[in-house]
Structure 1
Amino acid sequence: MTAPTADAFAQAKTLFLDAVGLTEAGRHAEAETRLEAAAALVPDRPSTLLNLGVVRLRLGRPGDALRALDALAALEPANPAGRFQRALALNQLGRHGDALALLDALLADHPATAAAHQLRGQTLQALERHADALPAYERALALDPGLAEASLLLGQLLRDLQRPDAARAAFEQALAAGADAALCRYFLAGLGAGEAPAGAPQAYVRGLFDSYADDFEPHLLNVLRYRAHEAAAQAAAAALAGTPVDAALDLGCGTGLCGPLLRPLARRLQGLDLSPTMLEQARARGCYDRLVQADLTAYLQQTPERYGLVAAADVFIYVGALEPVFAGVRRVLQPGGVFAFSVESSDGQALQLRPSLRYAHGADHLRALAAQHGLEIVQAQPLVLREDQRQPIQGQVLCLRAPGGAATG
């Protein structure tokens, strides 16, 4: 093979430096183009391969990233940054065992790499080895107390291990280290430290369900024995008395569990959710006429659409304060329209954020909200919504009706 010319080296260097700047600016697709051009001019440069791996990971293409990082490993097997990025790619591809082996080798050579200990903890959790993850996070923070993400991960693990005091301290450390303040305060409120926010942070909800989408339905139905969607749809069907409405809205539709149950109740069915990954699964069901990615409160306040039925199954556990939701639903409901939804039942409080990070609502508060917005309660049914750690979660399904004539089209 002919060696690259001096001019080719100069061009490749310029392209590489351009790519570094573009990466720092978040313009990853453009950075990838520059790096690929640099690699064509001067093949097998470790720095180019490493940066190609990084930008492809940030573009959400772990398979392509791994190919570049594997080429780097063939040239420099012990490159620490290359090992770390390969472990990231392997984890994103679901190859957690391979990622763990790679991180163990990296830490054997570089035991003071705090970020690698954190990633090792995340990898162990992906392998369901939660107790083993604990010392990995603790080691990462011992090396770098300012590692905010490690503090957040440690806090969530400690909370799940029923160690609330230690979890609270970890979340407070994360807050002090500059982690997302809204997320930290949400986690702390779930442990009884501070006032509960009006709703779960959007980034948290979207990230949770984007990562959960593939396993969502089997876990919900088979492990948690979830049935709230059926009860909400049955309440709506009873209220409509067999006459389909012109349009129905499935708020927080997720993967579309409610879709087949709501489809016979409306001539047009629309789904709305914050998670694009969930919406892709809902789209695959083929029972929605339209799917929208949006925050539900903002959508209800702004949309020109009107509906004869609005349904929300197991959605308000992440919303919290329902005043804006009721106002928005009242705005979009046609005269005589039906609003069917489920909630977890609180211990008498109007609003309660539980350690599970789910909101529960009080029956008296819900009745007051319905009255405030002129909605008649046509059904209020207590039921077990699901199980959590084999314990039944008590809740209720409510069906409300807007004043006026029939909602059918």
Structure 2
Amino acid sequence: MTEPTADAFAQAKTLFLDAVALTEAGRHAEAESRLQAAAALVPGRPSTLLNLGVVRLRLGRPADALQALDALAALEPGHPAGRFQRALALNQLGRHAEALALLDALLAEHPGTAAAHQLRGQTLQALERHAEALPAYERAVALDPGLAEAGLLLGQLLRDLQRPAAARAAFEQALAAGADAALCRYFLAGLGAGEAPATAPQAYVRGLFDSYADDFEPHLLTVLRYRAHEAVAQAAAAALAGTPVAAALDLGCGTGLCGPLLRPLARSLHGLDLSPTMLEQARARGAYDQLVQADLAAYLHETPERYGLVAAADVFIYVGALDAVFAGVRRVLQPGGVFAFSVELSDGEDLLLRPSLRYAHGAAHLRALAARHGLQPVHEQMLTLREDQRQPIQGLVLCLRAPGLASDA
């Protein structure tokens, strides 16, 4: 192989430095282009291959990232950053056992790498080895108390392991380390520490359902024995009395579980959700005429669309305070339009954030909200929505109607 010229080395260095600056600026596609050009001029440079892997991961292309990182591993098998980034790529590809082996090798040689202990914990959790993940997170936080994400992950695992006091301490440490304040306060409120926020943080909801999308329906229907979607659709159908509306909106449609049930009730069916991964599955179901990724309150207050039916099955457990939602629904409902939804039922409190991190609502409070926004109750049903830890979760399905005469236009 011909050795690169001095001029080629100089050009490659300039391209590499440009790529680093572009990466820091978040311009990853441009950074990748510079790195590819640098690699063409001077092949086999570990730093170029490493950075190619990094930007491709940030571009959401783990398979392409792994190609560059495998090339780096062939040159320098023990490269610490290369091993770490390869483990990231393998995890994103679902190859968790391989990622764990890489991290074990990395930590055997570099036991003080806090980020690697954190990633090892995440990998163990992906392998359903939750008890083993706990010391990995604890080690990460001990090595670097400022590693905020590790503190958050530790707190969540401790909460899941029914250790609330330790979870609270972990969340408080994560908050002090600079973790997302809204997220930390939400987790702490679920443990009874501090005032509950009006709604769950969007980043939490989006991340939860993006990661849950593939297993969402089997888990919901088989493990949790979920039935809220059926009850909401049945209530809506009864209120419409066999007359389809021109357009219906499925708020928080998720994977589209309600879609086939709502489809006969409207000539045009729209679905809205915060999670793009959920929406991909809803699109594949083929029940919707239009799907929108948006925050539901913002959409309700901004859209020019009008609906004869708005349905929300098991959505408000992550919304909390519903005044703005009711105002938005009232805005988009046509005269005589129907609003059918389910909530977890509190024991009398207007609004309660449970340790499950789901909100429960009081029936009297919902009736008062309906009256405030000019919506008339037409159906109310108490039922078991689903199970949680094999315990029934009591809920309420409420169907409200906007004033005026319904139109099929």
TM-score by length of 2: 0.99
SS in structure 2 of the partner of residue 309 of structure 1: strand
Match of 1:249, as an amino acid? L
Aligned equivalents of 1:287 and 1:229: distance in 2? Answer: 15
Match of 1:389, as an amino acid? Q
Aligned equivalents of 2:21 and 2:347: distance in 1? Answer: 54
Aligned equivalents of 1:401 and 1:261: distance in 2? Answer: 20
Match of 2:232, as an amino acid? A
Which residue number corresponds to residue 275 of structure 2?
A: 275
| Pairwise CA distance, 1:212 | 1.2
Which residue number corresponds to residue 301 of structure 1?
A: 301
| Pairwise CA distance, 1:32 | 0.3
Which residue number corresponds to residue 66 of structure 1?
A: 66
Match of 1:198, as an amino acid? A
Q: 1:3-402 to 2 correspondence within 5 Å?
A: 3-402=3-402
Match of 1:294, as an amino acid? A
Aligned equivalents of 1:7 and 1:303: distance in 2? Answer: 57
Aligned equivalents of 1:287 and 1:312: distance in 2? Answer: 16
Q: Could you tell which deviates more after superposition, 272-281 or 172-181?
A: 272-281
Aligned equivalents of 2:4 and 2:215: distance in 1? Answer: 49
| Pairwise CA distance, 1:280 | 1.1
Aligned equivalents of 2:396 and 2:388: distance in 1? Answer: 16
| Pairwise CA distance, 1:408 | 2.6
Query: Which runs of 5 or more residues in structure 1 are unaligned?
Result: none
Superposed CA RMSD in Å reads 0.7
Match of 2:329, as an amino acid? V
SS in structure 2 of the partner of residue 317 of structure 1: helix
Once the two structures are superposed, residues 342-400 of structure 1 have per-residue CA deviations (whole angstroms, 9 ceiling, x without a partner) of 00001210000011110000011001111111111111101111111111111011111
Match of 1:172, as an amino acid? E
Aligned equivalents of 2:320 and 2:157: distance in 1? Answer: 23
Once the two structures are superposed, residues 314-365 of structure 1 have per-residue CA deviations (whole angstroms, 9 ceiling, x without a partner) of 1000000000001110111111100000000012100000111100000110
Match of 2:148, as an amino acid? A
SS in structure 2 of the partner of residue 215 of structure 1: helix
Match of 1:220, as an amino acid? L
Once the two structures are superposed, residues 157-199 of structure 1 have per-residue CA deviations (whole angstroms, 9 ceiling, x without a partner) of 0000001111001000000000000000000011111111010
Q: Could you tell which deviates more after superposition, 79-88 or 284-293?
A: 284-293
Match of 1:19, as an amino acid? A
Aligned equivalents of 1:408 and 1:354: distance in 2? Answer: 41
Task: Kindly tell me the number of residue pairs found equivalent between the two proteins.
Answer: 409
Aligned equivalents of 1:385 and 1:288: distance in 2? Answer: 24
Aligned equivalents of 2:71 and 2:301: distance in 1? Answer: 52
Once the two structures are superposed, residues 208-245 of structure 1 have per-residue CA deviations (whole angstroms, 9 ceiling, x without a partner) of 11111111111111111111001000000000000000
SS in structure 1 of the partner of residue 378 of structure 2: strand
Aligned equivalents of 1:215 and 1:40: distance in 2? Answer: 42
Percent of counterpart pairs with the same letter? 89
Aligned equivalents of 1:320 and 1:250: distance in 2? Answer: 18
Aligned equivalents of 1:224 and 1:40: distance in 2? Answer: 54
SS in structure 1 of the partner of residue 225 of structure 2: coil
SS in structure 2 of the partner of residue 377 of structure 1: strand
Aligned equivalents of 1:160 and 1:348: distance in 2? Answer: 26
SS in structure 1 of the partner of residue 207 of structure 2: helix
Aligned equivalents of 1:408 and 1:374: distance in 2? Answer: 21
Match of 2:121, as an amino acid? G
Aligned equivalents of 2:408 and 2:323: distance in 1? Answer: 26
